[in-house]
Copies of this chain bind each other. A is one copy, B any other.
Amino acid sequence: MPKEAIIDFEYALLGLLSAAPMSGYDLRKAFATPLSRFSASPGGLYPALRRLERRGLLAARVDRSGELRARRLYQLTEAGAAALDAWIRQPIDQEMVARRLDLVLLRFVFLEGRGTRADAIDFLERLKGELARYLDLLEAQVESLKGMFTLHQRLAAENGVAGFRGQLAWVECALTELRSA
């Protein structure tokens, strides 16, 4: 059997911990923003940290520096860093763009600090290409179905297409900003 696969949530943990060692509680706070796609509740968090530790992707040490209750501070191992890098740099395919754009964004965030400016530009360049291709496909699809749509259905379809167009616009904007910086 191949080694156990790493799930999205676990990659999010690896990514957050790549910036700085943190405790489970710190991670919970990190998830407690309205934009986070994961829950800040401990239900999935602590078991995931244990799993990652067991698999050698995280290392834990007990921190008693503060006067508070001792807490387990997690940090990436080399294997964890390698797994994170591989995840970040995996190709961006149509399925990603169509259904997992939020995760692509997350990978972009984590790429900062784990790659050069050129890497980031390249990442967005590839995202832009795949996004444009998918948008073409989507628009063709909508166009071909146009005759069968009711008014609301057409509006909803346009909503979907507009969303991806917005994403494409964002990528272009982000690219110029990255290039000028």
Residues in A lying within 8 Å of B, measured CB to CB? 33-35, 98, 105-106, 108-109, 111-113, 120, 137-138, 141, 150-153, 155-160, 162-163, 166-167, 169-170, 174, 177-178, 181
Query: Copy number of this protein in the oligomer?
Result: 2
Contact B153 A109 (CB under 8 A): yes
Q: Which residues of B contact A138 (CB under 8 A)?
A: 34-35
Q: Is the CB of A156 within 8 A of B109?
A: yes
| A152/B109 in contact, CB under 8 A | yes
Contact B35–A112 (Cβ < 8 Å) = no
Task: Give 15 new A-B contacts, CB below 8 A, not counting A35-B160, A111-B152, A158-B170.
Answer: A33-B141, A34-B137, A105-B156, A106-B156, A108-B152, A108-B155, A109-B153, A109-B156, A112-B152, A112-B153, A155-B174, A155-B177, A159-B167, A159-B170, A162-B169
Q: Contact at A98–B151, with CB atoms within 8 Å?
A: no
